[in-house]
Amino acid sequence: MTNPMRHRWAIMGLWLLSSVAGFMMVISVGLLLPSISADLGLTPTQQGFYGSAAFLGNLFLTLPISWWVSRYRPKILTTVTFTLSSALMFVQSWGPNFGVLLLGRLGFGISTLAREPARVLLMHRLFTPREFILVSSVYNLLFGLVVGGGLVLTPIILSRVEDDWRSVLFTFAVALGVLAVLWTILGSDGEEDPESEQQETDTGGDRLGIIKRVLGYKELWIAGAGSMGTTMAWSSFVNFYPTLMLDVYDVSLNWTGLLLAIGIATGGPSGVVLSRIVPRVSGGRRRNILQAIGVTMVVTYLAMTLTDSIPLLIVITLVSGVAQGYWPVLNSIPFYLPGIRPRESAVALSFMMTLGTFGVATGPALVGALQDSLGDLRLAMMIISFAPILLSICSSLVHIRTDREEE
């Protein structure tokens, strides 16, 4: 049998690539919304709820689901969730009305985030604690490249199929099915740590105790709140920025897809650089970095709503993308909490993602409601642009560790 440690980056790389492909399909729906809305006659509020639906169920289900699925081996968990994701994407491509479309996207979001505990378990089994932030930065890099590429390709595919959004979703479903087969053949559970597994067994009977212990870490609440502010603005722009630029400035979907792709793709290399810088500076300076990032996000999001100059927007989205590099730093916090165990890390990361998901889910819904109320999409987008200031506030209150032994 092949030693998984010899191929740990190949195994982890395949998992990360497959995972970000799923998130790309969640995010690219913003470019399909004009076609979906024209076909099904959706109101702005319905558009907002459809954009949010992939994450709404996770507000209430992520924590119990992560506790439940973290008991299963990474390989089987990943295979099952990818198969479900593919099936639910097929449902969306077929959906005859808004209700079916909404339920399909809701289920797709749950299956996507239910896969995340496998990442935590694989990281613990394949890498040392000092490498966790590096793995997170590689995830961020792939996220930027794959999601950015998806945002560029989605409008091209849409135009090739004559604005038939169902064909685009069908293509996504087939791609997910292929990824499920690849992981089934090439994936691995990694190498178990006997000492760590014994610790998990010793506490395995105290099921509620795991969640209770995780919720006792105040760092998770604070970091999650900061993440909530950034994801609220980010998801709103991913879903509504194409519509804003098309309706207000007559900028094509190809251009807005490229602009969004530039921002997301830039966040990948930025995350790698920050993951190298942050461990080398003091705790106070780590906070200062995140504070500056929060302010930068507010300024760049506001600027994106105020101009139709493509050269200027490219510069703005590049700066915004650099700010998106915060993700590996913030989301590594669950791995470095004092006394945290592997299964608890999986639940802790899922809890932070739940708070971030609250922002993802409520952002587009809030923008849709504001547009209905104010009659002005640009004003609604300007209001939501201030949400990332939460990152600046919360980063002042949390100690950012980069090693388990750090005091």
Pure H helices in 250-282? 253-277
Spatial distance between the Cα atoms of 101 and 87, rounded to a whole number of angstroms = 13
Average pLDDT, the chain: 82
- Rounded-to-integer distance, Cα 55 and Cα 113, Å: 9
pLDDT for residue 59: 66
Report if residue 404 sits inside a domain.
no
User: Is there a domain that residue 170 lies in?
Assistant: yes
DSSP string of 367-405, one letter each residue:
HHHHHHHHS-HHHHHHHHTTTTHHHHHHHTT----SSTT
Q: Domain count for the chain, please give it.
A: 1
- The per-residue pLDDT for range 238-266, each reduced to its tens digit, is 888 988 998 999 998 889 888 988 888 88
- Which pLDDT does position 148 carry in this prediction? 81
109 assigned to some structural domain: yes
Q: What is the pLDDT of residue 112?
A: 80
Range of 147's domain?
Answer: 4-395
pLDDT tens digits along 211-244: 788 888 888 888 889 989 999 999 899 888 988 9
Please give the DSSP secondary-structure letter assigned to residue 249: H
Q: What is the pLDDT of residue 66?
A: 64
Is residue 43 one of the residues assigned to a domain?
A: yes
| Residues lower than pLDDT 70 in the chain | 1-6, 56-70, 190-208, 281-284, 343, 400-407
pLDDT of residue 407: 43
Residues 6 or more apart whose Cβ sits within 8 Å of residue 374: 380
Q: How far apart are CA 88 and CA 108, in angstroms?
A: 6
Separation in Å, CA 280 to CA 275, 285, 335, 403: 9, 10, 18, 11
**Which pLDDT score is estimated for 404?**
47
The pLDDT assigned to 207 comes to 60
> DSSP state, 115?
T
* CATH for 132: 1.20.1250.20
pLDDT at 356: 82
**Predicted TM-score of the model (pTM):** 0.71
Q: Is residue 407 one of the residues assigned to a domain?
A: no
CB-CB contact of 199 with 357 (8 Å): no
